[in-house]
A and B are shown apart, each in its own frame.
Chain A
Amino acid sequence: GAVVSQHPSRVICKSGTSVKIECRSLDFQATTMFWYRQFPKQSLMLMATSNEGSKATYEQGVEKDKFLINHASLTLSTLTVTSAHPEDSSFYICSASPGDRTEAFFGQGTRLTVV
């Protein structure tokens, strides 16, 4: 149990367009999910905490108007990269944890390339 799934796994978009990435907890409910970003040859950096039914909280330096997060149900959080630019090209990963587990479960990641 405890599966987190992301979609799409890979996306290419044109500069200036918006891209939506979905993160789903398949077999548990998650009131909180987390979004990370990973640039090539770097470690994962936490971007924001997605809270079901309320506003997301963003880490310092992450633009909330550029990275829109919606957590409308207990099994789905979405990250929308608005007006994407080439520097937004990165590997985006979400995580969540069931209430009865003490470890994190991660999605397979989404490779975003902005051209």
Chain B
Amino acid sequence: DAKTTQPPSMDCAEGRAANLPCNHSTISGNEYVYWYRQIHSQGPQYIIHGLKNNETNEMASLIITEDRKSSTLILPHATLRDTAVYYCIVRIAGGTSYGKLTFGQGTILTVHP
């Protein structure tokens, strides 16, 4: 699976959009970009994933650049409960169970009142 690079920490004001970047310059054509988050002392939670098209769900939006070498997770209206570590993970589709993931250090997002 391709390696990802994320900033170690970011801050965001409550109610504003949080834009979390991720670089994955060695991504292969059959690798998806996944985002998970881990709130303190809890198990990780799936947020969203995509291959090359932008994706949106009830939690967030995922913007993937045309060359697929980077992506941005957007939380449109951040709340205090969005304070967490956000992990960007690249992995192939299929093959090993999707429960198996390689985690980097992630980005600590702190949402301020």
- If A93-B43, A109-B41 touch, whether A102 touches B49 (CB-CB below 8 Å) is yes
The interface residues of chain A, by DSSP majority, are classed as strand
B94 vs chain A, min Cβ distance (A) = 9
What are the residues of chain A within 8 A of B49 when measuring CB–CB? Answer: 102-103
B51 vs chain A, min Cβ distance (A) = 11
In the bound assembly, the distance between CA atoms of A4 and B98 in angstroms comes to 14
- If A102-B93, A103-B34 touch, whether A97 touches B43 (CB-CB below 8 Å) is no
- If A43-B105, A44-B103, A102-B49 touch, whether A93 touches B44 (CB-CB below 8 Å) is yes
**What is the number of residues of chain A that contact chain B, defined by CB distance less than 8 Å?**
27
User: How many pairs of A and B residues are in contact by the CB < 8 Å rule?
Assistant: 67
B98 vs chain A, min Cβ distance (A) = 4
In the bound assembly, the distance between CA atoms of A93 and B34 in angstroms comes to 19
Beyond A30-B99, A45-B103, A104-B100, 5 additional contacts (C-beta under 8 Å) are A34-B99, A43-B105, A44-B38, A104-B44, A109-B42
